[in-house]
Amino acid sequence: MNTTVITNPVVRLAIDALQKGDTQTWQSLFAPDAQFFDDGQPRNLTQFSNDAMGHERFLSIDHVSDNGLLIEGKFHSDTWGEFRTYFRFVLNRDGKITRLDIGQVG
């Protein structure tokens, strides 16, 4: 899957890490106090990361907006199957991810 359509370099690195199941790179991109929300509900980022790496990935990226901070596409989860989802990233001045919101696209 081609991630070059993701225009924000930090977001591209994060999605590349997710695609490869690269936990070390994924975690290095987040600020220590980063917040994570799944369908609007707060969740533990470390637990999500441990569960997702190697088991969840985008099958396609169909839409990129908000200066490359919002991506939408077809997603695969070994647990939940395939569905359309979004990932919305918030970065601090140092380029670390401070918030990640994910959810299904209606």
- pLDDT tens for 63-75 read 999 999 999 999 9
In the chain, count H helices and then E strands: 3, 7
- pTM here is 0.95
What pLDDT, on a 0 to 100 scale, did the predictor assign at position 106? Answer: 78
CA 104, CA 83: separation in Å to the nearest integer? 7
Domains of the chain and any CATH numbers: 9-104 (3.10.450.50)
